[in-house]
Structure 1
Amino acid sequence: MTHPGTLVLIMAAAVLAPLLVYATGRRVRIPLVIFEIGLGVLIGPDVLGWAHEDEVIDTLADLGLSMLIFLAGYEIDFAAVRGDTLRRSLGAWLVALPLGLGVGLLIGGGAFYEGVVIGTALTSTALGTVLPMLRDSGELGGRFGQVMSAFGAVGEFGPVVAVALLLSGRRPAESAALLIAFGAITALAVFWALRPRRPWFGRLAEGTLHSSGQFAVRFVMLLLACMLGLAEVFGLDVLLGAFAAGVLTRLVLHRAAPGTSGVVLGKVEAMGFGFLVPLFYVVTGIEFDLHALLHDPGALLLVPGFLLLCLLVRGVPACLWAPRDFGRADRAALGLLASTCLPLVVAITTIGTDQKLITSTEAASLVGAAVISVLLLPLVAMRLRARGGRVDPRPGAGPPAGNGTSEAKDSEAW
């Protein structure tokens, strides 16, 4: 059983993190996740030594990771990323994947699974971190925002599928067959989700929205549990199930209860961003091997090296495969935002260290590079956009004049 003091410390860090974001927001915009991980490092064994991982905390952190990926899946609006934009985003990621795997194999000295962990991490995009900045600038509903949503969606979905396919411990053909079977069942679930729902579903969802029944929220949690269980049955990583559950939930709620879907999502986000997701990030900081990173010059040098590799592996293909109507500044901004990574890097390196596929030093270097990418790359990208007169880079500036979007709002990710 966990020591109650550990959970208290973790939740205290989770409460302190948004206060720090607010305190520093007037001068510089720092993503909330940076403070959550940083406070976890501070209270962890390598600094103050107040908090330590245990079985209960690890289980809650795993739930937080599942909720994070679930919400990322929900964010994706496939109606906005289809057509030529989707083909270009897929093409960019399919070029990045072999590049990343090749780099990973070189770094891992030819060790296949180590190369897969490093390579897939280099191809990921932190869509949940990038979207709030696009919302705040009023660009999420515009041309650039739609293109970035497509590239980010593939940058989240692609690595999840690659991890499920390549890190299952099975032969590639067997893993592919299981993945196809999982995909077929998920496709049937999507077909079911797109069917018109009976009127009672919407009435019950709305009628229990502010009561102890909470039918819609319980239904969403059931979908998540079913997809996690299905992935487990097929021997695939639960991240794939969580992502599929998010996509299904969006389809079901928007079709069956369009009037209440926003409120339902708000309740689910409250559970996720209010408890489980920050707990996952704080625990990530507690487990972060700061000692290995600071006492190994090679590991410390890997941090800027991995950051550069993220730009080369993920950013350059995104620039090259950007839509033809994008100018140089837009292409550069797209490449920088596509290279911004953290949540999936944390998830993939956690899998890698749990299965002893990579060392804690390599994991710390990758996560360190991902943290810097979240701190630096979006700011540079938005300043490039601002030089073209498209956005105001100041925190809280809101949509630019003439932009009619109403989506600029505060987000839990910042």
Structure 2
Amino acid sequence: MGFIGTLCLLLVLTTLAGHFSNRIGMPSVIGQILVGIVVGPAVLGWIHLDTTINLFSEIGVIILMFIGGLESNLTLLRKYLRPAIIVACMGVIFPVILMGATANLLGLSAFESLFIGVVFSATSVSISVEVLREYGALDTKEGATILGAAVADDIIGVILLSIMISLMGTQGLSTTGSQQNIGLVLIEQVLFFVATYFVVKWIAPYLMGISEKLLMASSRTITSMVICLGMAWLANLVGLSGAVGAFFAGIAVAHTPSRNVIAEHMEPLGYATFIPLFFVSIGLNMSFSHIQDSLIFIIIMTILACLTKLAGCGLGAKMSGFSRQSDYMIGAGMVSRGEMGLIIAQIGFSAGLLSATYYSDMILIIVLATMIAPFLLKHAIKKLPNEANEPLVDRQLEQI
């Protein structure tokens, strides 16, 4: 029963923190992450990240990304696929080269430096999705580009990690010990996206149609959760983040007549318990125990973690024809590393790509960059012209 008391305390604190964050003009996620920092090992040490909290956190990010998929416009995602890929590629090249080179200059080996670059090439779109939702910018051309680029980032990051582990002589991405090579990983991921097409086009509409005929309370919501969790599991099985699978599950369900009902049911389910624990878990990952020994390294790499995505993804947006304000917003939306950075860092550490000392520093840098990201994105959204800040679909309807 100890976890029940912990859950109760965290829900009270995250609700109050989110309220006061909004009152002073900050995104609510900042207050929730701060709760994790204050009650966790970094400050008070009351609560530590255990298996149960981690499980709730994983469910939270899956539901959050499912909601993000529900609210996304597939037409916009298709339209801005090309700029999303360009943004993703530039957002990988800049961190890998600049952060890798800087880590090498600061005394890390060439292989460790390259791995650090790979860790920070990843983007966690879950934080950005929450901020975009909060400020009504999810269904815009910039929002669509951020979502598409973040998914592409995940794929590129997993491929780079697979190559590095293979070079170390430890085949595979799976922590369960199954042997995989880079060719097999690529084939599995291609098959996953082929399966995703079938889910969006036929399987999800068919299952949601059946759910409407079931004599069971909330049958449509249960069916949508089965699709969500199933897609998340499949994505994780092929080496991608479960958040990627959940996002596409949301898109699939969004193209059925049950979209509005599911959205109404999923938001209370996610935001009442699971999603706040996801943001808290980011703060619980932070620790200041050895910060004095690596302070310069942490400061430099945190600054670079933000600047490389801002500059790289912003340049990719500029190459795709976006305005200067949109370049800034897209770059800011890609800064967050969140759970994707933590996952890649953990897998690489387990495979011997990084020493224990630098692994602790990496976790702190990832958390710091994730905390800075919502501030940057909020500032970027406010810099957009009012017309550009409206959902693109609404502007098209007004023109008609």
TM-score, normalization: structure 2? 0.76
SS of the residue 2:44 aligns to:
coil
- Paired with 1:373 and 1:262, the residues of 2 have a C-alpha distance of 30
The answer to whether the 8 Å contact 1:60/1:276 transfers is yes
- Paired with 1:225 and 1:202, the residues of 2 have a C-alpha distance of 18
1:246 and 2:282 aligned: no
1:362 and 2:362 aligned: yes
Which residue does the alignment assign to 1:396? none
Q: 1:364 offset after TM fit, Å?
A: 0.3
- Paired with 2:328 and 2:199, the residues of 1 have a C-alpha distance of 40
Q: Which amino acid aligns with 1:56?
A: T
Q: Which amino acid aligns with 2:261?
A: V
- Paired with 1:155 and 1:344, the residues of 2 have a C-alpha distance of 14
Q: 2:83 aligns with which of 76, 85, 88?
A: 88
Q: 1:38 aligns with which of 34, 45, 56?
A: 34
SS of the residue 1:221 aligns to:
helix
Which residue does the alignment assign to 2:286? 288
Which residue does the alignment assign to 1:410? none
- Paired with 1:74 and 1:113, the residues of 2 have a C-alpha distance of 39
- Paired with 2:69 and 2:347, the residues of 1 have a C-alpha distance of 19
- Paired with 2:64 and 2:113, the residues of 1 have a C-alpha distance of 24
Q: What stretches of structure 1 of length at least 5 have no aligned partner?
A: 393-398, 407-414
1:135-172, Cα deviation, whole Å (9 max, x unpaired)? 6666555xxx21x1232113321232134323354459
1:219 and 2:226 aligned: no
1:49-69, Cα deviation, whole Å (9 max, x unpaired)? 222333333333333344444
Deviates more, 1:171-180 or 1:365-374: 171-180
State the 4+ residue runs in structure 1 displaced beyond 6 angstroms: 196-200, 403-406
Q: Which amino acid aligns with 1:365?
A: I
- Paired with 2:32 and 2:205, the residues of 1 have a C-alpha distance of 42
Q: 1:341 offset after TM fit, Å?
A: 5.1
Which residue does the alignment assign to 1:25? 22
- Paired with 1:354 and 1:383, the residues of 2 have a C-alpha distance of 41
Which residue does the alignment assign to 1:48? 44
Give the 3 Å change call, closer, same or farther, for CA 176–405 of structure 1 in structure 2: same
- Paired with 1:219 and 1:336, the residues of 2 have a C-alpha distance of 35
| Paired residues for 1:399-410 under 5 Å | none
| Paired residues for 1:256-335 under 5 Å | 257-258=256-257, 260-293=258-291, 295-296=292-293, 298-299=294-295, 302-303=298-299, 305-322=301-318, 326-335=322-331
1:214-269, Cα deviation, whole Å (9 max, x unpaired)? 222222232234334434554x24x1x44124313422x244x41x3122133233
Give the 3 Å change call, closer, same or farther, for CA 280–379 of structure 1 in structure 2: closer
1:36-61, Cα deviation, whole Å (9 max, x unpaired)? 22112222234222223333333333
- Paired with 1:153 and 1:24, the residues of 2 have a C-alpha distance of 25
- Paired with 1:205 and 1:58, the residues of 2 have a C-alpha distance of 33
Query: How many residues end up aligned between the 2 structures?
Result: 374
CA RMSD of aligned residues (A): 3.7
Q: Which amino acid aligns with 1:360?
A: S
Give the 3 Å change call, closer, same or farther, for CA 263–105 of structure 1 in structure 2: same
- Paired with 1:58 and 1:324, the residues of 2 have a C-alpha distance of 38
Q: Which amino acid aligns with 1:99?
A: F
Give the 3 Å change call, closer, same or farther, for CA 302–150 of structure 1 in structure 2: same
Q: 2:181 aligns with which of 144, 156, 174?
A: 174
| Paired residues for 1:179-198 under 5 Å | 179-195=186-202
- Paired with 2:382 and 2:243, the residues of 1 have a C-alpha distance of 34
| Paired residues for 1:31-180 under 5 Å | 31-83=27-79, 85-106=80-101, 107=103, 109-110=108-109, 112=111, 115-116=114-115, 118-124=117-123, 126=125, 128-130=126-128, 141=139, 145-146=140-141, 148-168=142-162, 169-170=165-166, 174-180=181-187
Q: What stretches of structure 2 of length at least 5 have no aligned partner?
A: 173-179
- Paired with 1:77 and 1:110, the residues of 2 have a C-alpha distance of 44
Which residue does the alignment assign to 1:409? none
The answer to whether the 8 Å contact 1:166/1:175 transfers is no
- Paired with 2:5 and 2:78, the residues of 1 have a C-alpha distance of 45
Q: 1:374 offset after TM fit, Å?
A: 1.7
